[in-house]
């Protein structure tokens, strides 16, 4: 089975924004008024997902502070280790976050673990 993968770069991102703006009048207005949004490339993985969720919940400065505290408590920051945190430990590390934010991160962590365990038990070993 061959997996098709497109690497996101500035050209593909620009084309994608145009395609979406053609389909969504509200987005077209935003793009026309403010220009195309920047392409922010981040390291893939669970820590980045956590950081993005934090950024959506609080100010960027508070998100960075919460992420740094969380990263100091959970080393390395993996879904499995994250799920071992007690409510008190999580609340201490990620002050100012709401319970829904904690729940969202925990949900993604649990989903990640399930997906990884499912793949490792149902997929045949790689032949390379």
- Structure tokens, 69: 């505290």
The domain segmentation of the chain, as residue ranges, is 1-41, 46-122
pLDDT in tens, 68-102: 988 888 899 999 898 898 878 887 776 766 667 77
In this prediction the pTM is: 0.63
What's the token pair of residue 23? Answer: 């389909």
- Please write the tens of the pLDDT for every residue from 37-54: 998 888 888 899 889 888
Instruction: Please state, in angstroms and rounded to a whole number, the distance separating the CA atoms of residues 57 and 71.
Output: 17
Residue 89: which H helix or E strand, with range?
helix 87-93
């Amino acid at each position: 089975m061959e997996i098709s993968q497109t690497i996101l770069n500035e050209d593909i991102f620009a084309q994608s924004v145009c395609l979406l703006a053609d389909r969504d009048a509200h987005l077209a207005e935003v793009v026309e008024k403010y220009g195309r949004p920047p392409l922010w490339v981040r390291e893939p993985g669970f820590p980045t997902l956590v950081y993005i969720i934090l950024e959506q919940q609080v100010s960027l400065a508070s998100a960075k502070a919460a992420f740094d505290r969380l990263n100091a408590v959970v080393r390395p920051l993996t879904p499995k280790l994250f799920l071992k945190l007690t409510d008190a430990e999580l609340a201490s590390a990620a002050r100012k976050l709401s319970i829904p934010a904690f729940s969202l991160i925990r949900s993604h962590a649990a989903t990640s673990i399930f997906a990884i365990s499912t793949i490792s038990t149902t997929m045949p070993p790689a032949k390379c």
